[in-house]
Each structure stands twice: as structure tokens, then as C-alpha cells.
Amino acid sequence: MSKKDIQTIKQRVKDTMNNPILNLFYQNNNSSEKGVKEWTNLTKIQLETLVVDIIADEVNPDLTYLERGKIRGVTKRSFYRTLEQARLNLIRAIFTLMIAATLNIIDSPRLANFNELSQNFLDLITINKLENQSFEEKEKWIKIYTKMIFENIQKLKTQTALSKPLQKN
């Protein structure tokens, strides 16, 4: 593994982990605010390990788990164990979506608010990718959408959308 590969991987991991959208799910780990476990089933360490693995594959697929672990500052065993946990959590999330799709929950009119939330999140991703806006302009829109998304999440957590029968107008 060359020094250039290591520097490239570390910089790309740093850039990815500083993505403002990813940070929505992992902000203020030391505060009393809900966050890390509340909004995603990947811990920040699992996410970082997964990111290191993906970027390492892109830069140099021949890197061993020992080398990938060194990039993260952990042992080979710790890197691999955390990577396995991250992959399992992703698989579980995908299976949960497959169950929801099988039960026709995803397209249900009862989930209009959930679908709106999903669209807001997609809009947020699009805003983050815009290249013709200044950093300040992006930050402003990201804050607006973030506030809106988390307010909607709080409402949805208490909503009984799946338990109430549809109301006819």
C-alpha cells in the first residue's frame, strides 16, 4: 500500500464523514438530543468503517483488512467485526423495506406524510449536490430542510398513521 493511496483514502473518508447530510444523523453525540441511534441503525463507527471499506475498494481493491484497519486506527479483527456489524445492519434495513413493500405499506395513502418526508430528504440530497450555489447558500437551505425534516419526524413518531383506518372525505 503506497503512501499516496493511504492519503487519498484518508482524505476521501474525511470528506465523506464531513458531508452535512450524513452529519444530520450523527450530530452532537455528547448532547442530550436524540440522534445517532434514533435516526439510523448504523453507529458512526460502523458508518466510518463502511466508508473506509468502500473507498479502499475504489482506490486499491488489493488492500487487506489489516491495512484498512490501520487507516481507521484499529486492529484487523476490530475493523472486520465492525464492518460485519455495519453490513448486517444495512441488510436488516433493506429487508425491513422489502417487508413494507410486500405489505403495500410504502405506497399506502396512510403513509403520505412518510412519503413527503422521503421527498424532502431527496430534495436535501439534491441541494447538497448543487455546484452552482455558494457554500453559504447550500448551508442555508440544508438548515431549512433539516429543521423541516426533523419537525416532521417528531410528528410522525406520535402519529398513528398505520393503525387508523382511512377517513373518507
Q: What percent of the chain has pLDDT over 70?
A: 82
pLDDT (average), residues 94-98: 87
Distance CA 28, CA 72 (A): 21
Quote the pLDDT of residue 1: 73
Measured from the Cβ of residue 139, the count of other Cβ atoms closer than 10 Å reads 14
Longest dimension (CA), the chain: 66
Q: Locate the domains of the chain by residue range.
A: 1-103, 109-169
Of 19 and 115, the one with more pLDDT: 19
Give per-residue pLDDT as tens, 11-66. Answer: 999 999 988 888 777 765 554 444 444 578 888 999 999 999 999 999 999 999 99
Taking residues 124-132, what's their average pLDDT?
A: 81
pTM for the model: 0.71
pLDDT, averaged across the chain: 81
Q: Tell me the CA distances in angstroms from 110 to 91, 96, 114, 156, one per residue in order.
A: 26, 18, 9, 11
Question: Is the per-residue pLDDT at 166 higher than 60?
Answer: no
Q: Has residue 81 got a pLDDT over 70?
A: yes
